[in-house]
């Protein structure tokens, strides 16, 4: 496993957290790719991440509308995700653009040999899977 290196003081090199991607760049990348073929993919994520995505999609519009009513500000509802897939795709574009800017001069990386990554969880995913799981609260259903 590669060692983590600290950035030396006074270094002008970019640090991963220093690279930002403007929202407009994410929207442009997503819109440019919109005419392409859609793929159904499955990725493993934690239950909490999936739950928070669903809640963010649902409640963001409600809170944005309340904010607009209270402040008379216009809200661009087209900028809000209307599904979990839309939120995940925007998040993926944001991270892809950030990594390309950080490690590949802003250019798309070359294709992966064979076109696919190794299936299953990566090293960090395996270590997370080995951690003890929190007890799941019992789903209560009112009759």
Residue 121 within any structural domain of the chain: no
d(CA 70, CA 86): 27
Top-confidence residue, 80 or 1: 80
Q: Is the pTM of this model over 0.95?
A: no
Domain count for the chain: 1
Q: Say if residues 93 and 26 touch (Cβ distance below 8 Å).
A: yes
Domain of residue 77 covers: 19-31+43-111
Helices (H), the chain: 23-33, 47-71, 84-103, 123-130
- Among 32, 143, 38, 52, which residue's Cα sits nearest to residue 97? 32
Q: pLDDT digits over 8-62, tens only? A: 445 556 666 678 899 999 999 999 998 888 888 888 888 999 999 999 999 999 9
In a domain, 79, yes or no: yes
**Any domain includes 117:** no
> Are 50 and 58 within 8 A, CB to CB?
no
Angle at 141 between CA 140 and CA 143, to 5 degrees: 140
């Amino acid at each position: 496993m590669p060692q983590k290196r600290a950035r030396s003081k006074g270094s002008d090199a970019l640090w991963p957290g220093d690279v930002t991607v403007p929202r407009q760049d994410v929207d442009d990348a997503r819109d440019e790719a919109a005419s392409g073929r859609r793929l159904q993919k499955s990725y493993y994520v934690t239950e909490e991440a999936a739950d928070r995505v669903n809640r963010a999609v649902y409640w963001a519009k409600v809170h944005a509308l309340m904010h607009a009513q209270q402040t008379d500000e216009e809200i661009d509802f087209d900028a809000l995700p209307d599904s979990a897939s839309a939120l995940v795709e925007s998040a993926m574009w944001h991270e892809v653009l950030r990594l390309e800017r950080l490690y590949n001069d802003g250019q798309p990386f070359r294709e992966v040999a064979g076109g696919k990554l190794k299936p299953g969880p990566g090293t960090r995913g395996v270590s997370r899977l080995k951690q003890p799981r929190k007890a799941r609260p019992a789903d209560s259903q009112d009759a």
